[in-house]
Amino acid sequence: MFLLPDYRVRQRDYLLDISRALTAQLDLGEVLRLILQAATSMLSGEVGIIALREGDGFHVRAITGTQPDQANLFDPLLEDLRPDADDIDVAQLYSKMRKVAREVDLNLRQVVALPMVVADDMLGILFTFRSYAGAPTENDHRLLQSFADQAAIAVHNARMYEFANQERQRLAAILDYSADGVMILDAHLHIERWNRALSHITGWQPDQVTGRHHDIVIRWARRATGLNLSEAINNGWPRPVSTDTLPETLYIEGDLERLDGTTISVGITYAPLRKPDGALQNIIANVRDITRFREAEELKSTFISVVSHELKTPVALIKGYADTLNRPDANWNRETIIEGLTVIEEEADRLTELIENLLAASKLQAEGMRLTVDDANLPLIAQQAIDRFQTQTEKHTLRAEFPPDFPVICGDTTRLRQVIDNLLSNAIKYSPRGGEVIIRGTYGDAWVQVAISDQGIGLPPDELGRVFERFYRVDSALTSNTQGTGLGLYLAHAVITAHGGKIWANNNPDGGATFSFTLPRRD
Ligand code: ADP
Residue 474 CB–ligand 1 contact under 6 Å:
yes
In the reported structure, the alpha carbon of residue 467 is separated from the centroid of ligand 1 by a whole-number distance in angstroms of 7
Task: Work out the average pLDDT over 190-215.
Answer: 96
Position 478 confidence tier, pLDDT thresholds 50, 70, 90: confident
In the reported structure, the alpha carbon of residue 381 is separated from the centroid of ligand 1 by a whole-number distance in angstroms of 21
Task: Work out the average pLDDT over 182-210.
Answer: 96
Q: Are 401 and 379 in contact (CB under 8 A)?
A: no
Residue 513 CB–ligand 1 contact under 6 Å:
yes
Is residue 366 in a domain? Answer: no
In the reported structure, the alpha carbon of residue 449 is separated from the centroid of ligand 1 by a whole-number distance in angstroms of 20
Give the range with max mean pLDDT: 21-30, 292-301, 490-499. 490-499
Q: Please check whether residues 164 and 186 belong to one and the same domain.
A: no
Mutation test residue for ligand 1: of 305, 421, 467, 516, the one with most atoms within 8 Å of CB: 467
In the reported structure, the alpha carbon of residue 425 is separated from the centroid of ligand 1 by a whole-number distance in angstroms of 9
- CA of 452, closest atom in ligand 1: 23
- Tell whether the model's pLDDT for residue 3 goes beyond 80: no
- 351-367 per-position pLDDT tens digit: 888 888 888 888 887 78
Is residue 368 in a domain? Answer: no
User: Using CA positions, which residue lies closest to atom 9 of ligand 1?
Assistant: 486
Burial annotation 97-107 (CB, 10 A radius, 16+ → b, else e): beebbeebebe
What is the spatial distance between Cα 176 and Cα 171, in angstroms, rounded to a whole number? Answer: 8
Which of 289, 317, 343 is the C-terminal boundary of a domain?
Answer: 289
In the reported structure, the alpha carbon of residue 421 is separated from the centroid of ligand 1 by a whole-number distance in angstroms of 13
Residue 130 CB–ligand 1 contact under 6 Å:
no
- CA of 512, closest atom in ligand 1: 24
User: Using CA positions, which residue lies closest to atom 16 of ligand 1?
Assistant: 474
Q: Please check whether residues 247 and 337 belong to one and the same domain.
A: no
Q: Please check whether residues 196 and 270 belong to one and the same domain.
A: yes
CA angle (248 as vertex; 245, 249 as ends), nearest 5: 140
In the reported structure, the alpha carbon of residue 472 is separated from the centroid of ligand 1 by a whole-number distance in angstroms of 8
Count of beta carbons in the 10 Å neighbourhood of residue 258? 16
Q: Are 147 and 11 in contact (CB under 8 A)?
A: no
Residue 473 CB–ligand 1 contact under 6 Å:
yes
* Predicted pLDDT of residue 159: 85
Residues of the chain with pLDDT > 70, as a percent, come to 96
In the reported structure, the alpha carbon of residue 357 is separated from the centroid of ligand 1 by a whole-number distance in angstroms of 14
Residue 456 CB–ligand 1 contact under 6 Å:
yes
What DSSP designation does 441 have? E
Q: Are 141 and 175 in contact (CB under 8 A)?
A: no
In the reported structure, the alpha carbon of residue 513 is separated from the centroid of ligand 1 by a whole-number distance in angstroms of 10
User: Using CA positions, which residue lies closest to atom 13 of ligand 1?
Assistant: 473
Residue 35 CB–ligand 1 contact under 6 Å:
no
Q: Are 18 and 38 in contact (CB under 8 A)?
A: yes
* Predicted pLDDT of residue 139: 86
**Nearest one of 417, 381, 384 to 491, comparing CA atoms:** 417
* Predicted pLDDT of residue 120: 85
Residues of the chain with pLDDT > 90, as a percent, come to 51
- 220-278 per-position pLDDT tens digit: 999 987 789 999 999 888 887 665 555 589 999 999 999 999 999 999 999 999 888 88
What is the spatial distance between Cα 424 and Cα 193, in angstroms, rounded to a whole number? Answer: 57
In the reported structure, the alpha carbon of residue 515 is separated from the centroid of ligand 1 by a whole-number distance in angstroms of 10
How large is the C-alpha radius of gyration of the chain? 43
Q: Please check whether residues 36 and 55 belong to one and the same domain.
A: yes
Counting other chains too, the contacts that 349-355 makes at CB distance below 8 Å and 24 or more residues apart are: 350/314, 350/483, 351/311, 351/314, 351/315, 351/318, 354/307, 354/310, 354/311, 354/314, 354/485
Mutation test residue for ligand 1: of 389, 462, 489, 504, the one with most atoms within 8 Å of CB: 489
CA angle (517 as vertex; 384, 523 as ends), nearest 5: 90
Is residue 363 in a domain? Answer: no
Which of 144, 173, 202 is the C-terminal boundary of a domain?
Answer: 173
Is residue 365 in a domain? Answer: no
Amino acid identity at 148: A
The CATH number given to whatever domain includes residue 392 is 3.30.565.10
For the four alpha carbons of 364, 368, 369 and 371, in that order, the dihedral sign comes to negative
- The pTM of this model reads 0.57
Q: Please check whether residues 112 and 213 belong to one and the same domain.
A: no
Which of 255, 289, 323 is the C-terminal boundary of a domain?
Answer: 289
What is the spatial distance between Cα 405 and Cα 445, in angstroms, rounded to a whole number? Answer: 13
Residue 468 CB–ligand 1 contact under 6 Å:
no
* Predicted pLDDT of residue 363: 83
* Predicted pLDDT of residue 523: 52
Q: Please check whether residues 230 and 310 belong to one and the same domain.
A: no
- CA of 454, closest atom in ligand 1: 23
- CA of 468, closest atom in ligand 1: 6
Q: Flag the least confident range among 31-40, 235-244, 309-318, 497-506.
A: 235-244
Backbone angles phi, psi at 109, to 5 degrees: -125, -15
- CA of 422, closest atom in ligand 1: 7
Residue 512 CB–ligand 1 contact under 6 Å:
no
Please list the alpha-helical segments (H only) found in 327-412.
334-367, 378-390
Q: Please check whether residues 16 and 144 belong to one and the same domain.
A: yes
- 323-357 per-position pLDDT tens digit: 999 998 888 899 999 999 999 998 898 888 888 88
In the reported structure, the alpha carbon of residue 474 is separated from the centroid of ligand 1 by a whole-number distance in angstroms of 7
What is the spatial distance between Cα 200 and Cα 197, in angstroms, rounded to a whole number? Answer: 5
In the reported structure, the alpha carbon of residue 496 is separated from the centroid of ligand 1 by a whole-number distance in angstroms of 17
Which burial class, exposed, middle or buried, applies to 128 when counting CB atoms under 10 A from its CB (0-12, 13-18, 19+)? buried
Q: Flag the least confident range among 166-170, 187-191, 479-483.
A: 479-483
Is residue 120 in a domain? Answer: yes
Q: Is 158 helix (H, G, I), strand (E, B) or coil?
A: helix
The CATH number given to whatever domain includes residue 69 is 3.30.450.40
Is residue 342 in a domain? Answer: yes
Q: Please check whether residues 321 and 413 belong to one and the same domain.
A: no
Is residue 390 in a domain? Answer: yes
Counting other chains too, the contacts that 106-110 makes at CB distance below 8 Å and 24 or more residues apart are: 106/46, 106/47, 106/65, 106/66, 106/131, 107/46, 107/131, 108/46, 108/47, 109/133, 110/134, 110/135, 110/136
What is the spatial distance between Cα 417 and Cα 483, in angstroms, rounded to a whole number? Answer: 21
In the reported structure, the alpha carbon of residue 520 is separated from the centroid of ligand 1 by a whole-number distance in angstroms of 25
Q: Please check whether residues 407 and 481 belong to one and the same domain.
A: yes
What is the spatial distance between Cα 474 and Cα 430, in angstroms, rounded to a whole number? Answer: 11
In the reported structure, the alpha carbon of residue 427 is separated from the centroid of ligand 1 by a whole-number distance in angstroms of 8
* Predicted pLDDT of residue 300: 84
Backbone angles phi, psi at 363, to 5 degrees: -65, -40
In the reported structure, the alpha carbon of residue 328 is separated from the centroid of ligand 1 by a whole-number distance in angstroms of 42
The CATH number given to whatever domain includes residue 224 is 3.30.450.20
Task: Work out the average pLDDT over 126-134.
Answer: 89
Is residue 1 in a domain? Answer: no
Strands 396-401 and 435-443: parallel
Q: Are 282 and 186 in contact (CB under 8 A)?
A: yes
Residue 487 CB–ligand 1 contact under 6 Å:
yes
Report residue 226 CA to chain centroid gap. 26
- CA of 472, closest atom in ligand 1: 10
Q: Please check whether residues 184 and 300 belong to one and the same domain.
A: no
Q: Please check whether residues 411 and 452 belong to one and the same domain.
A: yes
User: Using CA positions, which residue lies closest to atom 19 of ligand 1?
Assistant: 426
Task: Work out the average pLDDT over 312-320.
Answer: 89
Domain tally for the chain? 4
* Predicted pLDDT of residue 85: 60
Position 143 confidence tier, pLDDT thresholds 50, 70, 90: confident
Q: Which region holds residue 45: left if phi is over 0, alpha if psi is between -120 and 50, else beta?
A: beta
In the reported structure, the alpha carbon of residue 377 is separated from the centroid of ligand 1 by a whole-number distance in angstroms of 25
What is the spatial distance between Cα 256 and Cα 260, in angstroms, rounded to a whole number? Answer: 11
**Domain of residue 331, residue span:** 294-358
Q: Please check whether residues 108 and 247 belong to one and the same domain.
A: no
Mutation test residue for ligand 1: of 423, 426, 468, the one with most atoms within 8 Å of CB: 426
The CATH number given to whatever domain includes residue 311 is 1.10.287.130
